[in-house]
Amino acid sequence: MTTVSEASNYATTKPVGEYQPVGWMQWPDNPDYSFQFMRALGAAQEGASTISECFQAGARITPGDDESWYREWTRLGDVNLKRAKDAIASNYVTTAKMNWLRAANYYRSAEFFLDHDDERRLQLLDKMEACSREYMERLEPAGEVVKVPFDNDDYMDAYFLRAPYSEARAPVVICFGGLDEFKDELLHEMPKHAFPRGISLLLVDLPGQGATLRRRRLAARVDTEVPVGACVDYLQARDDVDPDRIALYGSSLGGYYAPRAAAFEHRLKALVSDGVMFDLYRTLVDGKYTADRIASRHLKWVLGVDSFDAVLEKSKEFRLDEVQHQIRCPFLIVEGECDFAGFQFAVESYEYSQKHGLDVTFKVFTTEETGAAHCQVDNPTIGQEYICDWLADKLGIDQSALPQPLRQPCN
């Protein structure tokens, strides 16, 4: 057993992180590792990690050692999965459900720094989705695993989650992440805040994301109105969805995907771009991205190209200044003032929208209130609270009139 004096010595000799305007930096000299650690740590507020487990993993990870990163988050995934199985065997349904949710998120964290052709990515995806499904089966009503058909008999992997106690035909938000966030992370980020506001969700892996990328190798596409239009078609065919109250949410690179889609898909009632990517090429050049950065490695995979020069060339197509003026629905831009992707691009997007007469709202999270990091990773709770309140308003939901059980946080 470790003694008090040994523990004290351990604490004083191990390197420690620090709180910065952008949030907690576990390893200040390694921003990529620190950002991903903050992402896992912030999930504790939403029930998808625990603070002590995150710091335990952090103490055992060597920043820059991708194998140590994989090992420690996989270990935590396995620990939580075992807890879930033990709990469900004793009919402790709530405990099992929450451990499955945490296990899914730990497995998601574990795969982040692996090479894109590493077979362990698919192994982790299988475990992650299995845990997500177990979690969704215990929701009330149970979540659904769906395949959204689009573009010549292909499909996108998705989860449909109906808000409890909602209207017979409920408003729905189509949600997706960006370069590296996908449906299984949105599973803990969105429902806790959308459900109490009477909002159902379609969490979808677009081409270039999640299972749609990893299993069928469908690369990202510029014309996101095609897959998003297919999502709208799917939702309007359901008898539990209000076909006239469908909104769209995208974060990070999804902050390009969503406005681009809404510029052409006019059946949408509202639009949120969280961490808007107004011009991907300029983001990469102004941010001085190099081929060895983890984001650059991801972009090669997501865009389906084989070099960083090809990434730069392809990224020139991902720009909003030629299409954003065609958006017809209310438009919310959410941005942290310390966003590494470039706060100035959110300002440009907002000013462009104003110039063209769009119904646009610009919410900036400051360092003083927290949430100032990219997509509010340092404090995702206040980001989702603001976003879901705005969506509820635009979808015509009077929160004071909702049934009391619905107004309680989920999870």
Token look-up 């969805």 returns 241
Q: How confident is the model over 14-36, as a mean pLDDT?
A: 90
**What would the two tokens of residue 185 be?**
């992370």
* Claim: this prediction has a pTM higher than 0.75: yes
Please state, in angstroms and rounded to a whole number, the distance separating the CA atoms of residues 30 and 28. Answer: 6
The pLDDT of residue 382 is: 97
d(CA 235, CA 295) in angstroms, rounded, equals 32
DSSP of 85-104, one letter per residue?
A: HHHHHTT-HHHHHHHHHHHH
Task: For residues 275 and 285, give the distance between their C-alpha atoms in angstroms, rounded to a whole number.
Answer: 17
User: Lowest-confidence range among 10-14, 35-39, 245-249, 261-265?
Assistant: 10-14
> What is the side-by-side order of every strand in the sheet holding 200-204?
144-150, 154-161, 200-204, 170-176, 241-251, 270-274, 331-336, 360-365
Q: What percent of the chain has pLDDT over 90?
A: 91
Angle at which helices 93-110 and 120-137 cross, to 10°? 160
The mean pLDDT value of the chain amounts to: 93
Helix axes 294-303, 308-315, angle to 10 degrees: 70
The average pLDDT across 223-246 equals: 98
pLDDT computed for residue 13 by the predictor? 39
pLDDT per residue as tens digits for the range 87-119: 999 999 999 999 999 999 999 999 999 999 999
pLDDT at 408: 54
Q: Say if residue 407's pLDDT is above 90.
A: no
Spatial separation of the C-alpha atoms in residues 348 and 321, rounded to whole Å: 9
- The yes-or-no answer to whether 16-110 and 141-279+318-407 have a common fold is no
Alpha-carbon dihedral sign for residues 350, 277, 381, 38:
negative
345-370: pLDDT as tens digits: 999 999 999 999 999 999 999 999 99
Q: What is the pLDDT of residue 168?
A: 87
Q: Which residue has the tokens 């379609």?
A: 202
Is residue 273 helix, strand or coil? strand
- Three-state DSSP at 27 gives coil
CATH code: domain 16-110 is 1.20.1440
pLDDT category of residue 406 using cuts at 50, 70 and 90: low
Q: Check if the beta carbon of residue 179 is closer than 8 Å to that of residue 293.
A: no
How confident is the model over 54-85, as pLDDT tens digits? 999 999 999 999 999 999 999 999 999 999 99
d(CA 320, CA 318): 7
Q: For residue 219, give both structure tokens.
A: 């690369």
Chain segment 135-168, per-residue pLDDT in tens: 999 999 999 999 999 988 899 999 999 999 777 8
pLDDT at 257: 98
Among the residues of 43-119, which ranges form H helices?
Answer: 51-60, 66-89, 93-110
Domain spans of the chain, in order of start: 16-110, 141-279+318-407
Residues 216, 147: contact at Cβ < 8 Å? no
Per the DSSP assignment, residues forming a β-bridge with 325 are none
Q: What is the mean pLDDT of residues 392-403?
A: 93
pLDDT tens for each residue of 170-183: 999 999 999 999 99
Question: What is the third-level CATH fold of 141-279+318-407?
Answer: Rossmann fold (3.40.50)
Residues of the chain with pLDDT > 70, as a percent, come to: 94
pLDDT score at 403: 81
Residue 12 has pLDDT above 50, yes or no: no
The pLDDT of residue 410 is 59
How far apart CA 184 and CA 199 sit, in angstroms, is: 18
- Residue 108 contacts residue 155 (beta carbons within 8 Å): no
Q: Per mean pLDDT, which range of 36-50, 86-100, 393-407 is the poorest? A: 393-407
> What is the number of residues in the chain?
411
